[in-house]
Amino acid sequence: MLLSLAVGSRAIAPSVVLDAVFAPVAGDTDHVVVRDLRVPRTVVGLLAGLALGLAGSIMQGVTRNPLADPGLLGVNAGASLFVVVGITFFGATQPEAFVWFAFAGAAAATAAVYAIGASGRGGATPVKLALSGAALTAAITSLITLLLVTNLDTLQIYRFWAVGSLVGRDLGTAGVVLPFLLVGAVLAFVTSRSLNVLSLGDDVARGLGQSLVRARVTSALAIVLLCGSATALAGPLVFVGLVVPHIARRLVGSDYRWILAYSLLLGPMLLVCADIVGRLVAPPGELEAGLVVAFLGAPVLIAFARSSTVKSL
Give the CA dihedral 302, 305, 309, 313, nearest 10 degrees: 160
Q: Evaluate whether 77 touches 236 at the Cβ level (below 8 Å).
A: yes
Structural domains in the chain (count): 1
Residue 257 lies in a domain: yes
**What single-letter DSSP state applies at residue 238?**
-
Would you state the pLDDT for residue 118?
Answer: 77
Would you state the pLDDT for residue 312?
Answer: 44
**Mean local confidence (pLDDT), 183-187:** 95
Residue 43 lies in a domain: no
The answer on pLDDT for 297 being more than 90 is no
CA distance 272 to 78: 25
Q: Evaluate whether 233 touches 173 at the Cβ level (below 8 Å).
A: yes
**Mean local confidence (pLDDT), 224-246:** 86
Q: Tell me which of 200 and 245 has the higher pLDDT.
A: 245
CA distance 157 to 300: 31
- Look at the alpha carbons of 95, 100, 103, 109 in this order and tell me if their dihedral is positive or negative: negative
Question: How many angstroms separate the first and last alpha carbons of the chain?
Answer: 39
CA distance 29 to 63: 50
Residue 255 lies in a domain: yes
CA distance 296 to 287: 13
Residue 134 lies in a domain: yes
pLDDT digits (tens, 9 = 90+) for 94-138: 767 777 888 889 889 888 888 887 777 766 666 777 788 888 988
Where in the sequence is the domain holding 86, given as residue range(s)? 49-163+172-311
**Mean local confidence (pLDDT), 59-82:** 82
Would you state the pLDDT for residue 126?
Answer: 66
The answer on pLDDT for 47 being more than 90 is yes
- Identity of the highest mean pLDDT range in 42-46, 243-247, 285-289, 308-312: 42-46
Task: Give the containing element (helix H, strand E) for 267.
Answer: helix 256-280
Would you state the pLDDT for residue 123?
Answer: 66
Would you state the pLDDT for residue 131?
Answer: 83
The answer on pLDDT for 179 being more than 60 is yes
Would you state the pLDDT for residue 304?
Answer: 67
Q: Evaluate whether 279 touches 286 at the Cβ level (below 8 Å).
A: yes
Closest CA to 7 of 275, 305, 295: 275
The radius of gyration of the chain's CA atoms, rounded to the nearest angstrom, is 20
Residue 25 lies in a domain: no
Q: Evaluate whether 20 touches 34 at the Cβ level (below 8 Å).
A: yes
Q: Angle formed by the axes of helices 126-149 and 39-63, to 10°?
A: 140
pLDDT digits (tens, 9 = 90+) for 216-229: 888 888 988 998 88
Domain of residue 64, CATH code: 1.10.3470.10
Would you state the pLDDT for residue 122?
Answer: 66
Flag whether the pTM goes above 0.85: yes
Residue 261 lies in a domain: yes
CA distances from 103 to 210, 253, 282, 306 (A): 28, 32, 34, 34
Would you state the pLDDT for residue 184?
Answer: 94
Residue 59 lies in a domain: yes
Residue 4 lies in a domain: no
CA distance 28 to 154: 37
Under the banding of pLDDT at 50, 70 and 90, the label for residue 56 is: very high
Under the banding of pLDDT at 50, 70 and 90, the label for residue 5 is: very high
Would you state the pLDDT for residue 313?
Answer: 44
Work out the mean pLDDT of the chain and round it to a whole number. Answer: 84
Burial 236-249 (b: 16+ CB within 10 A, else e): bbbbbbbbbbbbbb
Would you state the pLDDT for residue 4?
Answer: 92
Please count the helices (runs of H) and the strands (runs of E) in the chain: 16, 0
Q: What percent of the chain has pLDDT over 90?
A: 27
Q: Evaluate whether 300 touches 248 at the Cβ level (below 8 Å).
A: no
The answer on pLDDT for 75 being more than 90 is no
